[in-house]
């Protein structure tokens, strides 16, 4: 059976994108994990209707 992406994750190494709290990226970097930090802000100004519209367009 071919490896799933779960198997690949468990086999390592972890390559991560951290979206939100920066401390989580810092603690991963401290463990030598290759991680990029995304400084997330609410998309579309946080307007749920606009967000739905945006999702439909993409």
Partner 1 sequence: MPSGFVIRKNQYYDSVFLMSVNRRILEVKGVQQTAVLMGSPTNKQLLLDIGIQAAQIDAAGPNDLIVAAVADSQSVVADVLGRLDEWLNAVEEKETTGQQLRTLEEGLTIQPQANLAVISVPGEYAAREARKALEAGLNVFLFSDNVPIEAELELKQLAAERGLLVMGPDCGTSLIGGVGIGFANVVRRGPIGVIGAAGTGLQEFTCQVHNAGLGISHAIGTGSHDLSNQIGGLTTFAALEALERDRNTKVIAIVSKPPSPEILDRLLERIARCSKPVIGCFLGVDPRSMQDRKNFQFAATIDAAVALAIAACGGQSVQADPALTPEEIERIARESASRSPEQKYLRGILAGGTFCYQSQQILRAAGLRIYSNSPFDPSDKLEHPDRSREHTIVDMGDDFYMVGRPHPMIDGTMRRRRILAEGQDPEVAVLYVDIILGYNASRDPAGELVDAIREARQAASQRGGHLTVVASICGTLADLQDLAMQEKILREAGALVFHSNARATAACAALLGKGVLS
Q: If binding is defined by CB under 8 A, does position 11 make contact with partner 1?
A: yes
* Cα gap 6→11, rounded to integer Å: 9
Judged by CB under 8 A, does residue 57 bind partner 1? Answer: no
Least distance in angstroms from the C-beta of 57 to partner 1: 14
Task: State the burial class of residue 18 (Cβ atoms within 10 Å of its Cβ: 0-12, 13-18, 19+).
Answer: buried
Contacts with partner 1 by CB under 8 A: the residue count is 43
Going residue by residue from 15 to 54, which x/- string records binding to partner 1, judged by CB under 8 A? xxxxxxxxxxx-xx-xx-xxxxxxxxxxx-xxxx--x---
Question: Do residues 36 and 18 make contact, with C-beta atoms less than 8 angstroms apart?
Answer: yes
Q: Which residues bind partner 1 (CB under 8 A)?
A: 4-25, 27-28, 30-31, 33-43, 45-48, 51, 55
């Amino acid at each position: 059976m071919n490896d799933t992406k779960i198997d690949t994750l468990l086999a390592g190494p972890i390559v991560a994108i951290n979206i939100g709290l920066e401390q989580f990226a810092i603690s991963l970097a401290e463990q030598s994990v290759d991680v990029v930090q995304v400084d997330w802000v609410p998309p579309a100004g946080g307007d749920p209707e606009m967000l739905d519209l945006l999702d439909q367009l993409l």
